Structure 1
């Protein structure tokens, strides 16, 4: 769901941009404020200990430790590690995208495989694509929260017109079984 901020931007005054950033629903600040608070707290604690609690000899020892750690920080460049990480994340995302069940390809195959320009061929193609769309909705209901919110129950799928033909067929089969 997209959230529009254009009204807030148009009414912006002095100091309006920071307010807009804090108001932002998908704000980077809202995602990172806990980690940032922990980092600032630990940094302030270390800085306070270094400045006020350590003696001169302890300060020199602390500086030697930091220089030792800094020597080994350049062995593997951060840009290389970051590039490798981004590559892995992008590859994983692309694989998920490619594995989504797109009905377009199968619909094109159905259009090519089911011959006939008459009413029967058209009904067969339409029914097969309806089943394909229904299977896509049912699969995406189990994966996507957005689709699940749109179709929380099978009744919602039927109300949207996606499965009324299947429900009618199921009810017809159930009635014929009761007769036997």
Structure 2
């Protein structure tokens, strides 16, 4: 075998399988005058507009649109009025151990090492949606952002109830 020709396997045994993956250079370019196809993004995760806080209208929670894959995390967002910005955290749904509620005024979320209490009105629907796993984020009402209070459900407080947060 000479040094100039590359090694080729026996074609009766399947041929050179690498040639199936190696494309000649320039083969991916469209012919002149045609546009290359634009790849479609198939990501329907919560990174789009649906996970954004709407400054025009208050929505106490943001629901997942479509159920192609379950939401990985539950976001909790509150407004820091002294600092003037949003704060929050994301807790993984698989770590959610319990959802407790008292009427439509209070929902408690137990993530094992971290517990949260959500206060407000109309929260019985929120508890049901969290148990379904369709809530992307819970948003606390901020008078600075939405001066006009809306009718319907409202989250007035999101409190962390960890042992280190409770005064002795």
Which category of TM-score, normalised to the shorter sequence, fits these structures?
under 0.3
- Give the number of the structure whose residues are more often helix, by fraction: 1
Alignment TM-score, normalising by the size of structure 1? 0.25
- Give the number of the structure whose residues are more often strand, by fraction: 2
Report the structure number with the largest CA radius of gyration: 1
Alignment TM-score, normalising by the size of structure 2? 0.26
